Amino acid sequence: MDTSPDSQALRRNRRRAVLLVLGAAAVFSIVAAFVKGLQGAIPLAQVVFCRNLFAIPALLPLLLAHGGVRVLRTGRPGLHAARLVAGLMGMFGAFYGYAHLPLATVSALGFTMPLFLTLLSVPLLGERVGPRRGAAVALGFAGVLLMTNPFGIGHPDLFAMAMVLMGALGWALAMITIRRMGSAGESNVAIVLWFAFGSAIVSGLACLPAWVWPDAWQWALLIGTGVISALAQIMMTEGYRRGEPTLLAPFEYSAILWTTLTGMLIWAELPDHWDFAGIAILVGAGLYIWRREVELGVRR
């Protein structure tokens, strides 16, 4: 076993990275519980607005640490606009799902993002998808079909499931746009902050016509959603800064464990056997695709 100082430092970094990603996945489950706890009493656009607005103060240290306002200079406003639309699409889909579906179901359906990412990378990034990744995508969507209980009378919340899948598609489009911006030299800080500011403005305008004044408990949930989302994002980013994607990606799937436990303890939600089968297939397909993505990226 290598006990050199460099090797020990690498192991420490990897341990911290794993803990950060596990922690971020757990914290994201708290966000999901806060949104579900609103019980649909606050309009969706208003929830999204508050999430974005109250996340900004937690992200401002990033702005100060990287040179202040000048870090926001960009020559690619079109790509930022596309990332904004895709990111809001993802957020609306996920938040709608939290309000109408078991948390574990939303978490599992959210992991269709790498499946959509693989499919979209062909027309939008000009990448080739081999037979193994193609088979993993097909298997993953078969898992989604299982979760809709195809041999019964049909899932009672198909619309909510479709909204979550739309959200996963949005996150995949956002990831592709981020790849393009990164390749064009745009900084990660600019990408994060422009989305934070832009999403707060757009969702704020969208929620004005149907604004509902929250009570004290709802304000606490809305503020917590924003602040904790920013904390989870910072933890996830820091984890991936310290460790390799091949090491960390599997630990993101611990979110399904946290959301399942949260749903069981607070709302007595228990996935049925079709849900468990679909979740297992989705997780396996997603992990395989992430592994292939990293392997191909290293080769390129």
| Per-residue pLDDT at 149 | 66
| Per-residue pLDDT at 187 | 78
Average pLDDT for residues 198-211, to the nearest whole number? Answer: 94
What are 20's two structure tokens?
């950060």
For residues 251 and 230, the model is more confident at 230
- Which of 85-99, 136-150, 275-289 reaches the highest mean pLDDT? 85-99
The yes-or-no verdict on residue 213 having pLDDT over 80 is yes
For residues 124 and 7, the model is more confident at 124
User: pLDDT tens digits for 60-90?
Assistant: 887 887 777 787 888 788 899 999 999 999 9
pLDDT band at 245 (very low <50, low <70, confident <90, very high): low
pLDDT band at 20 (very low <50, low <70, confident <90, very high): confident
From residue 279, give the alpha-carbon distance in Å to each of 42, 144, 154, 249: 29, 8, 17, 16
For residues 14 and 210, the model is more confident at 210
| Per-residue pLDDT at 59 | 83
Q: How far apart are CA 287 and CA 293, in angstroms?
A: 10
Least confidently predicted of 24-28, 35-39, 150-154: 150-154
Q: Angle CA(281)–CA(282)–CA(284) in degrees, nearest 5?
A: 65
Average pLDDT for residues 233-261, to the nearest whole number? Answer: 77
The answer to whether the CB of 101 falls within 8 A of the CB of 157 is yes
3 state DSSP class of 175: helix
| Per-residue pLDDT at 113 | 84
Helices 188-207/77-100 angle, 10° precision: 60
Q: How many CB atoms lie within 10 A of CB 279?
A: 23
The yes-or-no verdict on residue 252 having pLDDT over 90 is no
End-to-end CA distance of the chain: 31
| Per-residue pLDDT at 246 | 58
- Residue 294: name the closest of 255, 219, 244, 258 by CA: 244
pLDDT band at 219 (very low <50, low <70, confident <90, very high): very high
Q: How far apart are CA 266 and CA 12, in angstroms?
A: 35
| Per-residue pLDDT at 300 | 47
Element spanning 254, H or E: helix 254-267
Average pLDDT for residues 178-207, to the nearest whole number? Answer: 87
The answer to whether the CB of 84 falls within 8 A of the CB of 77 is no
Average pLDDT for residues 242-257, to the nearest whole number? Answer: 74
For residues 27 and 59, the model is more confident at 27
| Per-residue pLDDT at 298 | 47
Query: How high does pLDDT run on average in the chain?
Result: 84
User: pLDDT tens digits for 126-180?
Assistant: 777 778 878 888 888 888 888 876 555 555 688 899 999 999 999 889 888 888 8
